[in-house]
Amino acid sequence: MAYSKIKEIEKCLWGKYNVHIKANDDVNIIVGINGSGKTTLLNEINKMALENADDKNRVVYVPSIDNIAMRDKRKVVNALTQDLEFYMFDMKTGPSMMYHRMSMIDASVERQTEMKAGIDNFCAIVNGLFDTTGKHIEIEGNKFNVVSDGELIPINALSSGEKQILLILLRVFLLNGEESCVLLDEPENSLDISWQFELVNILVKLNPNAQYFITTHSPSIFGDGWGDKIIYMEDVTTPAK
C-alpha cells in the first residue's frame, strides 16, 4: 500500500499546546483564528503522512500561495507560476501532466483509453470553473494550451486564482486516484467564492481515495455539506503541562 491513512494526531505545538485529533479517513477541515497553529499543525501532519507513505509522491502538500517557494530565482515569473509550469511540463522527474501524458505511449490500448478519459475529465472540470472567465484549457500530446476568446495565451497570463485552482487540481489529478494524502494550507486565498464553495466536492471527485487535510478561514470551503468534517483548533488544543 502506497499510503496508510492517518487515524489519530497527537502533537505538541511550540512546547506550549497539545493537539489531539481523531482524523477522518476522507476530509478534515481545520479551522482556527490566526496564530492558533493551523499551518504549524499541517506541517506536522505532513511529516506523519510522509512516514506513512511507501511512495512519497503519494503525499501532496500545497502551501498558501504566499508561501510557495521559488524554484528558480533567475526567472521573472513568480513562484506560483513556476510551480504550475513544473507540474504541467517537467519531464525529468515526474509526476507532471506531460510526464503522465507521454507515459500513455507504452501503455496498453485499454490503459490508454482509461488515461485519456481521465485527462478529458480533468479538462472538463477545469473548463467548467474557467467558463465564467471566457477561458479554457486543451491538452493534446505534449501540448498544453490556454485559450482566451479564441486566442492562445501563456500560463502567466492567467489570474492568480486561476493558476492556484489549476495547480491544486493538477496535483490531485496526478495522484491517479490512488490512496494518498493531500494537504492544503488556506486554499481560499485568491479563489473566487464560488470556487471555494465547490473545491472540496471537486477534490473528492478527482480522487475519492485520498485523505484530505485542509486549513481555512473561509466558511465557503465547508459550506456545501462538509460541516461535519470541521475540526476547530480551540476544541482539540489544551495547554501543555
Residue found by looking up cell 497527537 in the block = 10
pLDDT in the model for residue 142: 83
Question: Rounded distance, CA 84 to CA 205, Å?
Answer: 21
In the predicted model, is pLDDT for residue 1 greater than 70?
Answer: no
Question: Rounded distance, CA 32 to CA 231, Å?
Answer: 9
1 in a structural domain: no
Model-level pTM?
0.95
106 in a structural domain: yes
pLDDT digits over 45-86, tens only?
A: 999 999 999 999 999 999 999 999 999 999 989 999 999 999
Percent of the chain with pLDDT over 70: 100
pLDDT in the model for residue 6: 98
- Among 130, 95, 129, 121, residue whose Cα is nearest residue 208: 121
The average pLDDT across 184-205 equals 95
In the predicted model, is pLDDT for residue 132 greater than 90?
Answer: no
The average pLDDT across 157-177 equals 97
The average pLDDT across 193-199 equals 94
222, 227, 233, 235 alpha-carbon torsion, rounded to 10°:
170
Question: By CB neighbour count within 10 A (0-12 exposed, 13-18 middle, 19+ buried), where does 155 fall?
Answer: buried
User: Taking the CB of residue 58, how many other CB atoms lie within 10 A of it?
Assistant: 22
- Number of structural domains, the chain? 1
In the predicted model, is pLDDT for residue 25 greater than 70?
Answer: yes
213 in a structural domain: yes
pLDDT in the model for residue 224: 79
- Domain, as residue range, for 133: 8-67+78-239
Question: Rounded distance, CA 104 to CA 112, Å?
Answer: 5
In the predicted model, is pLDDT for residue 94 greater than 80?
Answer: no
72 in a structural domain: no
pLDDT in the model for residue 32: 94
The CB-side HSE value for 48 (13 A sphere, CA atoms) comes to 20
2 in a structural domain: no
3 in a structural domain: no
- Among 29, 18, 7, 4, residue whose Cα is nearest residue 224: 29
CATH of the domain at 166: 3.40.50.300
- For the CA atoms of the chain, what is the radius of gyration? 18
pLDDT digits over 219-238, tens only?
A: 999 987 899 999 999 999 99
